[in-house]
Amino acid sequence: MNDTAEVLECPALKPADFKSKVKPIWCPGCGDYAVLMVITKALAALELKPENVAILSGIGCSSRIPAYSSCYGFHGVHGRSLPAATGLKVARPDLTVLCTGGDGDGFSIGGNHFLHACRRNVDITYIVMDNQVYGMTKGQASPTTDPDWDSVLTPGGTGIRPFQPLVIALASGANFVARAFSGDTHGTMDMIIAAIKHPGFSFVQILSPCVTFRPDQKEWRHMVRTAPVPTTDDPARAARRIMTDDGFNLGILYQGDRPPYQISYRDHVEDPASMGEEFRI
């Protein structure tokens, strides 16, 4: 090895290299701390570089993640992280694009974008930290809240059937569907690595307890289990499994082989003058 090669050689990055200097201000005990740690570990394990990764988010506690990362980040509009991520990935297919957010941001405010992001199958990894509550706005019921969750804001519960994110992702065309638990850091890291590596739209629902507004969720660590079935590439079988489980089976539940959507640029489109000519009225 000559001197030049020695100078150019970069040491492997560590998880800490993917963290920014901004310290998280989530409530102590929040599952999102573990998710942040797992994402940085996964990016380091994949030997990516912060400048080649973009993390986008909407609004909510978990959507603060881009600020805590040294990767490129975009803390966007409520529920709109997926359209921004789609645009970014289509324009810059060389980047690894992650979307992070919560259940309210992703399934209510951004619900329609979720459906179409699954359908479009752009190569994005969407990580939803699901705590079944709007924590940042002080504990309102979210789309995934159980109908009988009794609280001051929803006395007697909402009485509304919860949104089923995994099966809806599957039905809408997501190419990778997994469920993780923030307390299972090793298992979650494996799933995020697999999700990033898998081509197309990958959706990872992470059960991430809100210890302030849903202290009952501390029990999740005793309720989760590894799914007793292997990953399938059959969407019908995956749907049946997801619809019949109790929401605590962890693992990669579906891994499809649908080719991801990507615009094929024509040479002349890359020339601004030609593009102007094409759209001239």
Partner 1 sequence: MSTHQVKDLPPQLAMEMHNIAELLAHALALEEEASERYAELAEIMQAHNNPDAAELFTRMAGVEQLHVDGIRQQIRQRKLTDLPSAQYRWLGLEGPETTDHADLHYLMTPRQALMLALLNEQRAHDFYNDICRHSSDPEVIELARELAAEEREHVAWVELWLGRFPPTEDGWDHDDDPPNLQA
- How far is residue 66's CA from residue 130's CA, in Å, rounded to a whole number? 17
Q: Please state the closest distance from residue 222 (CB atom) to partner 1, in A.
A: 7
79: left (phi over 0), alpha (psi -120 to 50) or beta: left
Comparison of 28 and 228: residue with beta carbon closer to partner 1: 28
Q: Please state the closest distance from residue 160 (CB atom) to partner 1, in A.
A: 19
Comparison of 161 and 186: residue with beta carbon closer to partner 1: 186
Q: Give strand ranges (E) for the chain.
A: 53-57, 72-75, 96-102, 125-130, 133-134, 140-141, 176-181, 202-207, 225-226, 249-255
How far is residue 86 CA from its own chain's centroid? Answer: 13
Q: Please state the closest distance from residue 239 (CB atom) to partner 1, in A.
A: 27
Comparison of 87 and 215: residue with beta carbon closer to partner 1: 215
Interaxial angle between packed helices 111-120 and 165-172, expressed in degrees from 0 to 180 and rounded to the nearest 10: 40
Residues that bind partner 1 in the complex, under the rule CB under 8 A: 23-25, 27-31, 33-34, 37, 138-139, 151-153, 181-187, 209, 211-213, 215, 218, 221-222, 224
Query: Which helix H or strand E contains 114, and what residues bound it?
Result: helix 111-120
Q: Please state the closest distance from residue 227 (CB atom) to partner 1, in A.
A: 15
Q: Please state the closest distance from residue 220 (CB atom) to partner 1, in A.
A: 8
- Cβ–Cβ < 8 Å for 188, 213: no
Angle at CA of residue 225, ends 222 and 231, nearest 5°: 165
- How far is residue 92's CA from residue 118's CA, in Å, rounded to a whole number? 19
Residue with tokens 């499994």: 241
Comparison of 147 and 215: residue with beta carbon closer to partner 1: 215
Interaxial angle between packed helices 81-91 and 111-120, expressed in degrees from 0 to 180 and rounded to the nearest 10: 30
Q: Please state the closest distance from residue 162 (CB atom) to partner 1, in A.
A: 20
Single-letter amino acid code for the residue at 232: T
Q: Please state the closest distance from residue 194 (CB atom) to partner 1, in A.
A: 15
Comparison of 61 and 109: residue with beta carbon closer to partner 1: 61
Comparison of 161 and 222: residue with beta carbon closer to partner 1: 222
Comparison of 175 and 217: residue with beta carbon closer to partner 1: 217
